[in-house]
Amino acid sequence: MATQTAPSAPPPLRFGQVVIGPPGSGKTTYCLGMQEFMGRLGRQVVVVNMDPANEGLPYTCAVDVAELVTLDDVMEGLKLGPNGGLLYCMEYLEANLDWLEKKLSQYRDHYFLFDCPGQVELYTHQSSVKNIFSQLSKWNIRLASVHLVDSHYCADPAKFISVLCTSLSTMLHVELPHVGCLQGGGLQGDCLQGGCLQGGLLSRSMDKDSMSRVLRSVDKANGFCFGDLEERNLQAMMSAAVGADFHFSSTLGVQERYLETPGASIEEEIMDL
């Protein structure tokens, strides 16, 4: 009588972000800041470098696609240019997903940050990256894409509309929950108030408030905030439930600065309540 083999256990549920955006938009800097920020929150974070042309990584990289294929080797061996070489590299990675699965399987209870290449056509026309993301989902990794855009594009209406169209095309092509982030300086607040780019607001200074705002948006997009992987306080639960952000301390600061209060301070009025 033939013995029956027990079915293999399904892979554990994990969560992650795929960080995309044009060259120079700050993807690697974002991964560095988010890795440090989530580490302080107690999350076990793994950064995966998906860019075969990315050298001199500032963050601790657990999985590096350069161990499998590099852009320089492809350009030299196949006599391709930078764009064609990068397309070949991603097709090569797609053909060797067993290598990636073996690398990721070592981290069963971790949160993943995928630092992706910056070539725009990878996310709007070519299908290799889309297929890789799809396979990651089949390995039970719940993903959300974080699309970084430099905020100086907001200064020109035509450029800003172009950025929105590119972001929409990317979202439809990769078929993942999408969080748009404006990178840069003083233009950020005005650009996002109208809801043109839904999601977080990120400054190059990587301050705690900006990182927290982005992380809340991503946690709602990939479903992390609805799981049981960490304790959540009332503020986080209410924010996820109604789609609003409750910033008591920020509101208190605005009231103290701009609103006149008769006699007692705001803290004293609150205590009276």
Could you report the per-residue pLDDT of 128-165, keeping only the tens digit for each? 999 999 999 999 899 999 988 877 777 788 888 888 88
Specify the pLDDT at position 49: 92
Task: Report which of 235, 243, 240 is spatially closest to residue 219, judged by C-alpha positions.
Answer: 240
The residue with greater pLDDT, 150 or 251, is 150
Of 1-5, 82-86, 183-187, 262-266, highest mean pLDDT: 82-86
DSSP code of residue 273: -
pLDDT band at 103 (very low <50, low <70, confident <90, very high): very high
pLDDT of residue 53: 87
Tell me the H-state helices in 105-247: 121-124, 128-138, 157-174, 188-193, 208-222, 234-242
Which of these ranges, 104-108, 160-164, 263-267, has the smallest mean pLDDT?
Answer: 263-267
Q: What whole-number distance in Å separates Cα of residue 184 and Cα of residue 174?
A: 25
| pTM for the full predicted model | 0.75
